[in-house]
Amino acid sequence: MAVKDNGTFKGKVAFVTGAANGIGRATAIAFATEGANVAVADISEKGIQETVRLIEEAGGKALAITCDVQKSEDIKKALDETVKTFG
């Protein structure tokens, strides 16, 4: 995977839940490949760290956020952290 300098999502931010593995990880990587900065959210700290590592190794930018989407306070904190980091 290589990040496209002129990708479809260059200058955009993607917030992907369930990004520790499977479809969520693939989605986060796809957004990064197209140039987006990606907030990688999941309850699995180990999984999101691996997703971030994969994105960064390819030249993308990603932020790991531990988040339980069943808790509204976790979602608010995660979105606030995303905005603080990526604008």
Query: pTM for this structure?
Result: 0.92
> 45-57 and 22-33 are packed helices; what angle lies between their axes, rounded to 10 degrees?
30
Distance, CA of 54 to chain centre: 11
76 in a structural domain: yes
62 in a structural domain: yes
20 in a structural domain: yes
Number of domains in the chain: 1
**CATH code for the domain in which residue 72 is found:** 3.40.50.720
8 in a structural domain: no
Question: Confidence class of residue 6 from pLDDT cuts 50, 70 and 90?
Answer: confident
What pLDDT does 45 receive? 96
Domain that holds residue 81: 13-86
65 in a structural domain: yes
CA dist., res. 21 & res. 23, Å (int)? 7
Tens of pLDDT along 17-38?
A: 999 999 999 999 999 999 999 9
What pLDDT does 36 receive? 96
